[in-house]
Amino acid sequence: MMRAAGPPTFGNQTHVRLGVMLCILLAVLSGAPLAEAAELSREVAALYSTVSIYPPSEKSMTVCYGFVCRRREILSFTPGDRAALTQILNAGHASAAAERAAAQKAVVWLDRRMGPIIGTNKRVAKADFR
């Protein structure tokens, strides 16, 4: 039986927000000039405005977690972080499929980097709030 598509669940919204933040981060880390990286679309600027945070820069980004970004942690990029992300992203230049794989690996890197700090490294897959 097929279910009607409903509004996105909390987990999906979190992944969308993380994806948007990652896209901007990728632009910043990929060597785009800061002036270009700072120019956000109206929709992306609205996303940052709704949660009252600044977009990521080449030195740091705000990682939101909890419902509607109620909890936040600043990730300050170390030279090692930048080198790791640059290596991951450079692998995506070969093709569209390689780019998607690199973006996926960058999300995994971010989750592993921030998980111990924000406590998400202890989460259980498909667990509910109980």
Report CA-CA distances (Å) from 70 to 31, 50, 115. 31, 11, 17
Which residues, given as ranges, of the chain have pLDDT below 70? 1-38, 129-130
Per-residue model confidence as pLDDT tens digits over 9-42: 444 455 555 555 565 555 555 544 444 455 788 8
Buried-state track 14-43, b at ≥16 Cβ within 10 A, e below 16: beebbebbbebbbbbbeeeeeeebeebeee
- Residue 73: helix, strand or coil by DSSP? strand
pLDDT of residue 90: 95
pLDDT of residue 68: 75
pLDDT of residue 15: 53
